[in-house]
Amino acid sequence: MAIQVEHELHKRRAGRNWGLLLILIAFVGVVFGLTVVKVTRLGDARAFENFDHVANPALERAAEEQELQEVTP
Amino acid sequence: MRAPGAATARGASEDVRMQEASLDESAAVPVEAGLGDYFALLKPRVMSLVVFTALVGMLAAPVPVHPYIAFVATLCIAVGAGASGALNMWWDSDIDTKMRRTRSRPIPQGRVRPEEALGLGLALSGFAVVLLWLATNLLSAALLAFTIFFYSVIYSMILKRRTPQNIVIGGAAGAFPPMIGWAVATGGVSLESVLLFALVFMWTPPHFWALALFVKTDYGDAGVPMLTETHGRPATRVQVFAYTLPLVAVSLGIAFTSLGGWLYLAVALALDVWFLAGAWAIFRRSEAQAEADSYATEKRVFMVSLWYLFGHFGAILAQSVLTQWGLAQWGGF
């Protein structure tokens, strides 16, 4: 009698593992989609950039212009 | 003296026999769970009702929700409902083995261990609540967390085996989803969402007791006090009719809020008359009459109760679509 390499138990475990893989991929997809939707709904990026210790020329120029206006009589 | 090759061949054949024996033993091992068994722990049929009512609460709210956010929120509410189902099966695994209706569940069948159901329930609860918070707002997540707590602890652990009012109070767990859906959209609780809660809450007792009247349950053997057994069937008939009266009031009350309109009012009135007539018929019947026609009225009213809830939420959804298109303006409160 030949050894049954593929037992019903193995099929069941394989089904479970594939199912778990699909669930994990779906989870990554859901979180990625949520991130995209959240980020694209933030609106004008200038409203929240330059607060991560990175220079932002656009904001700095605006600040300079404001200073100039205040100094100019 | 044996040739080395022969010894090797004999050894190999012994190994084969041992492996075969091992595989034969594994065939006798209790059945291992498949993915479907874990899915069955989530009570998918209950999930479908939860998803429908939550979605209606979300879509009928006056604040539009991004379709993807609505999808994620609905997913979280469904998973949260499933998690509470798994926790319920973990807690009730002892009585599930005693009742015919629940004997085929994965835990009584030995395919899933109770600890696995507990782990799955807790993990999915955490996942659903946290993701709902991240996707929407804190109130929705808090309401979902409370719903899971209410169903698993208040209903399953405290009420179910102690009082025949278990269905009444425990029905709140099934009534929260439309309120969560509303909170997802608006970030708050309002008269409308409270009335949606009340509609499901008041609907649950007559719906369930109509079922209990014609299904011969073995709750008594499992030590679960059901109204039909603790107070008798005539008293249950009175309760079915008694709970239908406030249900009708809530149903009509919704018509005069921002959720309401001519379409909703017409559908609600028709469904109210239909259900009320059925509840009255149950109230008027004696047990002998019911047995004579094999509980035909009770079975019919149970089906009516399903259409009642589906019809109400469907009408609320249709009404909100009409209102958004400007086809059915309604003052409301």
Chain-wide mean pLDDT for chain B?
A: 87
CA distance B316 to chain A (A): 28
Picking from B83, B245, B242, B108, the residue whose alpha carbon sits closest to that of residue B173 is B83
Statement to judge: residues B246 and B145 lie in one domain: no
Q: What pLDDT digit, counting tens, does each position of B14-63 carry?
A: 454 444 444 444 445 557 788 889 999 999 988 888 999 999 999 999 99
Is B86 part of any domain?
Answer: yes
Mean pLDDT of A41-45: 71
Is B278 part of any domain?
Answer: yes
Q: What pLDDT digit, counting tens, does each position of A2-37 carry?
A: 566 677 778 888 888 999 999 999 999 999 999 999
Is B155 part of any domain?
Answer: yes
Contact list in B for residue A13 (CB cut-off 8 A) is 32
In angstroms, the CA B175 to CA B275 distance is 19
Mean pLDDT of B229-245: 93
Taking the domains of chain A in order of start, what are their residue ranges? 43-73
Report the alpha-carbon angle B324-B329-B330, nearest 5.
120
Statement to judge: residues B141 and B259 lie in one domain: no
Is B227 part of any domain?
Answer: yes
Give chain B's domain count. Answer: 2
Statement to judge: residues B212 and B317 lie in one domain: yes
Tokens of B243: 């709970």
Give the domain range for residue B228: 190-333
CB atoms within 10 A of CB B61: 25
Domain end (from B120, B154, B188): B188
Contact list in A for residue B27 (CB cut-off 8 A) is 7-9
Statement to judge: residues B178 and B208 lie in one domain: no
Distances, alpha carbon B232 to alpha carbons B77, B149, B229, B264, in Å: 36, 31, 5, 37
Q: What pLDDT digit, counting tens, does each position of B181-198 carry?
A: 999 999 999 999 999 999
B17, B18, B32, best to mutate vs chain A, most A CBs in 10 Å? B32
Mean pLDDT of B73-82: 96
- What integer pLDDT is reported at residue B103 of this predicted model? 87
- Record: contact B69-A9, CB cut-off 8 A: no
- What integer pLDDT is reported at residue B176 of this predicted model? 96
Q: What pLDDT digit, counting tens, does each position of B116-175 carry?
A: 999 999 999 999 999 999 999 999 999 999 999 999 999 999 998 888 888 888 889 999
Is B63 part of any domain?
Answer: yes
Statement to judge: residues B86 and B156 lie in one domain: yes
- Record: contact A9-B29, CB cut-off 8 A: yes
- Record: contact B34-A4, CB cut-off 8 A: no
- What integer pLDDT is reported at residue B18 of this predicted model? 45
Domain end (from B165, B188, B211): B188
Is B208 part of any domain?
Answer: yes
What percent of chain B lies above the pLDDT cut of 90? 64
Side-chain half-sphere exposure of A2, counting CA atoms within 13 A: 4
With 0-12 / 13-18 / 19 or more C-beta atoms within 10 angstroms meaning exposed / middle / buried, residue B256 is middle
Chain-wide mean pLDDT for chain A?
A: 77
- What integer pLDDT is reported at residue A55 of this predicted model? 61
- Record: contact B20-A20, CB cut-off 8 A: no
Q: Which of B16, B34, B134 sits opposite A12 (nearest CB)?
A: B34
Statement to judge: residues B260 and B303 lie in one domain: yes
CA distance B135 to chain A (A): 7
B296 vs B34, which has greater pLDDT?
A: B296
Statement to judge: residues B75 and B172 lie in one domain: yes
- What integer pLDDT is reported at residue B5 of this predicted model? 41
CB atoms within 10 A of CB B103: 12
- Record: contact A7-B33, CB cut-off 8 A: no
Residue of B nearest to A19 (CA): B35
- What integer pLDDT is reported at residue B98 of this predicted model? 85
Q: Which of A1, A16, A30 sits opposite B20 (nearest CB)?
A: A1
Residue B244 — pLDDT band, cuts 50, 70, 90? very high
Statement to judge: residues B53 and B166 lie in one domain: yes
* Statement: residue B297 has pLDDT above 60: yes
Statement to judge: residues B177 and B41 lie in one domain: yes
* Statement: residue A39 has pLDDT above 70: yes
Statement to judge: residues B194 and B182 lie in one domain: no
Domain end (from B172, B188, B204): B188
Chain B residues with at least one Cβ partner in A under 8 Å: 16, 19-20, 23, 26-27, 29, 32-35, 66, 68-69, 72, 75, 131, 134-135
- Record: contact B20-A34, CB cut-off 8 A: no
CA distance B254 to chain A (A): 33
In angstroms, the CA B4 to CA B10 distance is 10
Mean pLDDT of B226-240: 90
CATH number reported for the structural domain that contains residue B74 in this entry: 1.10.357.140
B83 vs B170, which has greater pLDDT?
A: B83
- What integer pLDDT is reported at residue B41 of this predicted model? 93
